[in-house]
Structure 1
Amino acid sequence: MTEKQHKNVKRDIEKMLVDLGEDALTFEHIYLDSMNRQQTEYLLDRDHTECLLTGYSAVHRMRVIKRWHDLEKLAAIPALPENYISALEALLESKKSEAALVLVNKEQAAEIHDIKSLFKEGMTPTQFCKMLNGINTQKVNGWLAERNWLHNKSQSGIRWRATSYARDRYSQATLF
Structure 2
Amino acid sequence: MNALQNIAPALTMSSREIAELTGKDLGHVNRDIRAMLDSLEDDPELEHVREDKDARGYTVAFHLGRELTYTLLAGYSTQLRRRVIARWQELEAQAAPALPDFSNPVVAARAWADAKESELRTAEALAIAAPKAEFVDRYVEADSGAKGFRQVAKLLKANEHEFRAWLQDQKVMYRLGGEWTAYQNHIDAGRFVVKTGVATNSEHAFNTTKFTPKGVQWIAGEWAKHQVAARQEAA
- TM-score calculated relative to the size of structure 1: 0.40
Pair member with larger Rg: 1
Highest RCO, 1 vs 2 (Cα 8 Å, sep ≥ 6):
2
More strand by share: 2
- TM-score calculated relative to the size of structure 2: 0.32
